[in-house]
């Protein structure tokens, strides 16, 4: 699967959330903080099309864009890459890391335990 840059990912998020959308609609939904012009958003859309992670269909003289890949798939691929690179592919090493850094609230812990328990049945 083609890699998606960080800025491009912002655009994908918009479309994963709601699709299909026109370029203008996407621009309107991109988080304020990015402060992007419509032109910038259009560049992103072209590049994402070129990467094959978006498709577009014509709607009069504009396009409606929609994701060509599923968010879960991409997220899974990216998480996998990180776990491989930084934790030797060992998920428990990641969890240990988070624990050591106090990134786990008691609620998180409980939730994860429930989740794991369900897996074993």
Interface with DNA (CB under 7 A): 3, 5-8, 22-24, 34-37, 39-40, 42-44, 46-47, 60-63
Site stretch for its own copies (CB under 8 A), options 31-39, 42-50, 51-59, 110-118 = 110-118
Residues contacting 37, CB < 8 A, separation 6+: 27
Helices (H), 18-105: 23-29, 38-51, 71-87, 91-100
Q: Which residues bind its own copies (CB under 8 A)?
A: 6, 9, 72, 75-76, 78-80, 82-83, 85-87, 90-92, 94-101, 103-104, 106, 108-109, 111-113, 115-116, 119-120
């Amino acid at each position: 699967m083609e890699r998606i840059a960080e800025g491009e990912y912002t655009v994908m998020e918009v479309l994963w959330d709601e699709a299909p959308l026109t370029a203008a609609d996407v621009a309107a939904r991109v988080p304020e903080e990015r402060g992007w012009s419509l032109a910038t958003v259009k560049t992103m859309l072209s590049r994402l099309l070129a990467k094959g992670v978006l498709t577009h269909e014509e709607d009069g003289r504009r396009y409606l864009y929609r994701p060509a890949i599923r968010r879960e798939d991409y997220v899974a691929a990216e998480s996998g890459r990180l776990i491989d690179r930084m934790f030797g592919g060992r998920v428990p090493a990641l969890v240990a890391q988070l624990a050591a850094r106090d990134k786990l609230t008691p609620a998180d812990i409980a939730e994860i335990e429930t989740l794991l328990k369900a897996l074993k049945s």
